[in-house]
Structure 1
Amino acid sequence: MKRLLLTTAICATLPFAAQADEFLVRADVTEATVFLGGVTEIVREVSLTVPQGDHDVLLALPSGVQLQRADIAGTGPVTLGSYSVETAHPIEEGALDGPDVAAARARVEDLEDRVDAVNARIAEAGAAVQAAALQRAYLQSVTAGGDNAAPFPTEPELLGQMLTTLGTQMANVAEAARLAEEEQTALREELAEVNTDLNAARTALNELYPFGTSVTVMRVPVSAEAEADVTLTLSHFSTAATWSPVYTLRLDSTAEELAVERAVTLQLTGNERWHDVGVSVSTADPGRERAPSDLSPQPARIHPPETEESRGVGFGIVQLGNGNAGGFNTTLARPSPAPAADMAPVEVQAVGASLTYRLPGAVTITPRDSSRQPLDTLSFDVDLTNRAVPRHDATAFLVAEVENDSGEALLSGNAAFYRDGELLGEAQLGFLADGAETDLAFGALDHLQLDWRDLSRDEGQTGIFTSADTQVRAVEFSVENTSDEAEEVRLLYAVPFAEQEELELDLDLSVTPDARDVDGQRGVHAWELTLEPGETRTIRMDVEFSWPEGEVLDWRP
């Protein structure tokens, strides 16, 4: 960081100014740690040289900045006093411009000067048009006759000379008027172009969020026994930024490998532009509940039947929670930020049960904009399954079974799914703890066609709900391999089962399932099928229900 000697002789084009024993220095964000829940820890570091004596360093901050739990520290042979915060501190416009803002402001001022110059030329051209109009009116009046008419000679040769002179003058005046009008038109077109450039330049300047003519300042008393180099570090909390994880999932179905590209979407919500800021994002949430709720005894009581007079009066004891949610009043541990490096590998640091990711590279972002910052790519071996649910789907789907063996949890976030380079769409990726397993679907398999039919309807039986004491149903479901290669398919179907003793159920399946009650779901059976090219496999289910007379069966195939 540049070290700046602040004296009354410093020119105003640099991003600071000095007055007597006050040193006004812009305190830009240099480091930031963004937590889940919208809490951000901001670090601003300023280096300067102060002369011997007692001084006030005024750290200039954007108006409206949040300074929650602010702390100031300094390095160097100086003593710091207690700080104070002042709002609406007046400054000269442009006094705290950085190089990029100064260049943008100079561009605006140059275009404003051009606008003034073109307007002046337009005014000159307008004056020339008016002058030509006056000359033309005069010439027309002197040739029109009457009291103001010019006397015409009677000699033919003199009359010809006079008419020639008048004609020449009229032509000259007309030409001068034409040229002045053409110049006016060209200048107006030039003015429109310059104004367009000026509006764009003003927009570009505003997008850099320059300081105005007043700022918020933190006044820090500094005492130095001799001229000293000092670095002041201001840290505070705010709600200036939010972050969320985003993923790109790329499945290589041939190699059975899944690449998970991780990135961070960073968004500023305050009124300050971050320029070349070292940013870390943390999975910690300071606004989350810190302690469990209080629990109180809950005795059972009896009471008289409720009456109109007592209606609405409760007899239980209700104990509210202890109110530990919200805020961030506990001491937060912030890992020391590592120096930013362009696209360096992402640094991951564990702090308790949370993780902090250092973004690989300095971040520049403006308020209310989003910036996508890459993190890293995780690789997983997956088990692929062609999963078929013929009761509800028309095709089978490719499902990747993956175990998170990365050593860290994957947070919930939006994910784009690719299969062999083809974009399948976007969906929300759920939270996946370290060591946990999940199934990820990677699109339909059109060559594995599914079919389902209710044969009992085909045979003339009608009605799903009936008041009779028996019902017989027949269902067929199948999968067809239309490709020219053999395929392994896992077919799932939920068969009926009875939990009431009064309901009797007789179930017959034409093909015995390979697994029953899959994943603990009663009645969900699975068949592991191998289908040759062009082959169709069909499974038939026959079921008969019996129940006491007067009851109603509630089931549908």
Structure 2
Amino acid sequence: MIRLFVTTSLLALAAPAFADTITGQARVDTVTIYPGLATVTRLVTLDLPAGQHDIIIPDLPLGLSADGLRIAAPAQVRLGAVNLAFDRLPVTPDQSSPAILAARAEVDRLEEVLRESDTAIAAIRLRAQAAEDQIAFLQSLGQASAGESLTTGDDPQLDIDRAVVISQATGQDWLDVQLVLSTARPGDQIAPGGAWAELRHIISEDALAGETTGMADAPMPLQRNSAVMAAPMMDTAPITAQADFSGVAVTYVYLNRIDIRNGVEDLRLPLDQLSFDTDVWAEATPMTDANAYRMAEFTNTTDEILLPGRAMLHADGTMIGFSHLPLLAAGADLDIGFGPLDGLRLTRMTPDRSTGDRGVFSSSNQLVERTVLTVENLTGQDWDVLLRDAVPYSEQDDLQVSLTAVPEPTRRDRDGARGIVEWDLSVPAGAEQEVVMETTLRWPSGYVLR
């Protein structure tokens, strides 16, 4: 008995062709799923006598490519040329015995019976699932109404239940296959990008004056005042799973074999459950929002990359909403928003604003703006609040910007964000915190503030 393993990348397969012609059916055996693509391994089992043979594998999906094709066979079998036929197969006489023909007919009959049974079973499962979904929905309503009080506890935890949803439209049903998930990203860029130097040049002051004089009459040629370089384009390309950390990527091998029918199913499989120590705080931006938002930060303390994907968020047993989590490397931090805190109310007022000449000699102009930020805590619990606002900034020496605030800002220009100021506040339940800012802009006479 000979077993051929036909593995294709990007869901691509092929059909071999050789001399004593034998037809073999390829059964999907293993599917390895990566972000954005997959490889499918099909198993062909044949009883071959010694000698040279042509093997035809029909009924493979359309639109295949031979680029990612790999064929493996036992050590005692030597493989020759492989031909991928996209249309008609070679005409060969049917050398099947009457017994084989009768067996095939019986297989066809039983397969039809099985398809009818699958349809009936699927209908029953759909009715059962609908009932379960209705019960779950009613339970969630009761849970949400009972979980409106915002409690985070002394040691907040972030629990992540990871799952994968798989659908396939390869043209074939995947029946009784082994599923492997991998964190490798073969579809991404595989080498670093390039660097391109900026071409600079100098021009005489006389020539520059001449160009300036004629600028109103004719457009300046592009090559005379700028360097344009084109960067080269680059192509970038309870079921349980057992994690394997032995290679360059983490793989998850599902111990149970699964079925995914072509084009009609979305199969959701659990992956694992992760738990992280978490910092929880409220973040407030009165410039844009009327209330604060609950934020949580955690560090990926696992030994693997957490792949990106859509997430359903819950806080204190209540569904908050949906988000899309980015790829997170091992050891990296991530901030996640967990919805508004309606009991943390924000206001931003500008009671005083004056402009005009100041000083004995009226030698400079200035604009003074007084802003009051308020955080009112009506949640029934104490909150650490990160309060954020913005003030103007200047890149001209003649335009000076100064800020005085009570209390003093905790941070300014965080992560290089010019003009952003932040305060770390503790706002007890039932209390109110106020920040008063005074921003002054000064510039010489004869100039206009824009």
- TM-score normalised per structure 2: 0.68
Sort the Cα spacing of 1:286 and 1:513 in 2 relative to 1 into closer, same or farther, 3 A.
closer
Q: Deviations over 1:134-189 (max 9, x none)?
A: xxxxxxxxxxxxxxxxxxxxxxxxxxxxxxxxxxxxxxxxxxxxxxxxxxxxxxxx
C-alpha deviation, 1:451, in angstroms = 1.0
Q: Which residue of 2 aligns with 1:535?
A: 431
1:24 aligns with 2:23: yes
1:435 aligns with 2:435: no
C-alpha deviation, 1:36, in angstroms = 3.2
Q: 1: distance between equivalents of 2:36 and 2:326?
A: 17
- Tell me the SS of whatever aligns to 1:102: helix
Q: 2: distance between equivalents of 1:492 and 1:73?
A: 61
Q: 2: distance between equivalents of 1:278 and 1:71?
A: 18
CA root-mean-square deviation: 4.4
Sort the Cα spacing of 1:474 and 1:53 in 2 relative to 1 into closer, same or farther, 3 A.
closer
Q: Deviations over 1:26-63 (max 9, x none)?
A: 2111012233343x322111334345666554333335
Q: Max radius of gyration: which structure?
A: 1
Q: Which residue of 2 aligns with 1:386?
A: 282
Q: 2: distance between equivalents of 1:416 and 1:43?
A: 33
Aligned counterparts, 1:110-509, within 5 A: 253-254=152-153, 255-292=155-192, 321=232, 325=235, 343-349=239-245, 351-352=247-248, 354-368=249-263, 369-456=265-352, 469-509=365-405
- Which one-letter code corresponds to 2:327 in the other structure? F
- Tell me the SS of whatever aligns to 2:57: strand
Tell me, yes or no, if the aligned pair for 1:346 and 1:376 is still in contact at 8 Å.
no
Tell me, yes or no, if the aligned pair for 2:28 and 2:43 is still in contact at 8 Å.
yes
Q: 1: distance between equivalents of 2:417 and 2:243?
A: 42
Q: 1: distance between equivalents of 2:106 and 2:34?
A: 30
- Which one-letter code corresponds to 2:152 in the other structure? S
Among candidates 102, 109, 113, match of residue 103 of structure 1:
113
Count of aligned residue pairs for this structure pair:
376
- Tell me the SS of whatever aligns to 1:101: helix
Unaligned runs of 5+ in 1: 4-20, 109-199, 205-250, 328-341
Bigger relative contact order, structure 1 or 2 (CA pairs below 8 A, ≥6 apart): 1
Sort the Cα spacing of 1:543 and 1:289 in 2 relative to 1 into closer, same or farther, 3 A.
closer
C-alpha deviation, 1:291, in angstroms = 4.1
Q: 1: distance between equivalents of 2:32 and 2:304?
A: 19
Q: Which residue of 2 aligns with 1:70?
A: 69
- Tell me the SS of whatever aligns to 2:336: strand
Q: Deviations over 1:337-383 (max 9, x none)?
A: xxxxx72343234543x443334532322333433222112111011
- Tell me the SS of whatever aligns to 2:113: helix
What is the percent sequence identity of the aligned residues? Answer: 30
Sort the Cα spacing of 1:427 and 1:550 in 2 relative to 1 into closer, same or farther, 3 A.
farther
Q: Which residue of 1 aligns with 2:40?
A: 42
- Which one-letter code corresponds to 2:242 in the other structure? V
Q: 1: distance between equivalents of 2:176 and 2:398?
A: 74
Unaligned runs of 5+ in 2: 4-19, 95-100, 124-149, 357-363
- TM-score normalised per structure 1: 0.56
- Tell me the SS of whatever aligns to 2:24: strand
- Tell me the SS of whatever aligns to 1:325: coil
- Tell me the SS of whatever aligns to 1:393: coil
Q: 2: distance between equivalents of 1:507 and 1:294?
A: 42
Sort the Cα spacing of 1:394 and 1:51 in 2 relative to 1 into closer, same or farther, 3 A.
same
